[in-house]
Amino acid sequence: MPIIVNLDVMLAKRKMMLKELSEEVGVSTVNLSILKQGKVKAIRFSTLEAICSALDCQPGDILEFVEENSE
């Protein structure tokens, strides 16, 4: 998948646990864990906005597009 989720990196930079983020954002720890692992197909803008607000970051700090090699 060419979209990489760097949620774990932002959590580490902010010294925040997944459970803390879950409580602040209002999304279950399980769903955030699935997002953190990059196993989701979509994310709502409202969820992304809440995560960015809680982590004081930009969407590009969490999501990264990596071009797949088409060989």
Q: Write the DSSP symbol of residue 40.
A: -
Q: How far apart are CA 16 and CA 50, in angstroms?
A: 15
pTM of the model as a whole = 0.89
Amino acid at 12: A
Give the total number of structural domains in the chain: 1
Which range marks the domain in which residue 41 is found?
3-59
Say which residue the tokens 């970051």 belong to.
57
Q: How far apart are CA 51 and CA 32, in angstroms?
A: 10
- 23 lies in some domain: yes
Model pLDDT, residue 70: 59
- 9 lies in some domain: yes
CATH number, domain at 40? Answer: 1.10.260.40
Amino acid at 6: N
Q: What is the pLDDT along the chain (71 residues), one digit of tens a residue?
A: 689 999 999 999 999 999 999 999 999 999 999 999 999 999 999 999 999 999 999 999 999 999 877 55
Q: How far apart are CA 23 and CA 68, in angstroms?
A: 35
- 71 lies in some domain: no
- 66 lies in some domain: no
- 67 lies in some domain: no
- 17 lies in some domain: yes
- 70 lies in some domain: no
With beta carbons less than 8 A apart as the criterion, state whether 38 and 2 touch.
no
Model pLDDT, residue 12: 97
